[in-house]
Amino acid sequence: MIRVGALVLLLLLLASCPRGGVPTAVDLAPNLESAAIARGLVRDPADRDIVGLYARDTDRVCIVRDGAAYRIGAYVDYGEAISCNAVGSVSRSGGRLGVRFGEGCGFDARFDGERIVFPARIPEGCEALCGRRASFAALDVARLSGSAAEARTMRDAKGKLPCAAQ
C-alpha cells in the first residue's frame, strides 16, 4: 500500500510541473540582436527595402521610389570613355530584381539585402548604353546607404543625377 501511495504522489507531482519546463534566463531576456533591432541600432534583416546607394570601386547603383515603382540608375566607369550609363525601372520579387533599362535591355539581378549582382550575361540591347569595351555584365555592388536622399545625389560618369527627382 505504501508503494501505491508513493506512486500516486509521484504522479501528482509530475502532473503539476509546467509543460514547457522551468523558464530560464535565456527564455525571459531577449537576445542581443533582437534588443539592438528593437532600439534601431541594427538593421532588421526582414526589412530589406531596395532604396539606397550601392557601390564598389568606380561602379555605382542608386535606387529610389518613383511613385508606386522604383527608379534605378547605374554606371560603370573605367576611365577614358570606357563606361556605361543607364536609367530605368526596377521591381522586386524576393531575392530577384527585375531591371529594365529600356528597349532590349532587361534582365534579372540578385539582391540579398546588402548586395546587388547583375548577371554575367547581359542582353545585347544593353550594349548601346556602354562605350567601347565596357559592360554591365557581372556588376556587383554593396550597399553604402539606405537613404533615398543619398541615392538621389549619385552622379554618373557624365555628371548627371540618374536618381534625382524628375
Look at the pTM and tell me if it is higher than 0.85: no
Helix (H, G, I), strand (E, B), or coil: what is residue 5?
Answer: helix
SS3 content of the chain, % helix, strand, coil (to 5): 20, 35, 45
165 belongs to a structural domain = no
Do 98 and 29 fall into the same domain? no
- Is residue 115 within 8 A of residue 140, CB to CB? The reply is yes
Q: How many residues does the chain have?
A: 166
Helix (H, G, I), strand (E, B), or coil: what is residue 130?
Answer: strand
The predicted-structure confidence for 84-121, as pLDDT tens digits, reads as follows 999 999 999 989 999 999 989 999 999 998 999 999 99
Please count the structural domains in the chain. Answer: 2
Helix (H) or strand (E) holding 46: none
43 belongs to a structural domain = no
70 belongs to a structural domain = yes
The predicted-structure confidence for 10-62, as pLDDT tens digits, reads as follows 666 666 666 655 555 555 556 776 777 677 666 555 567 999 999 999 999 99
Q: Which domain holds residue 83?
A: 52-152
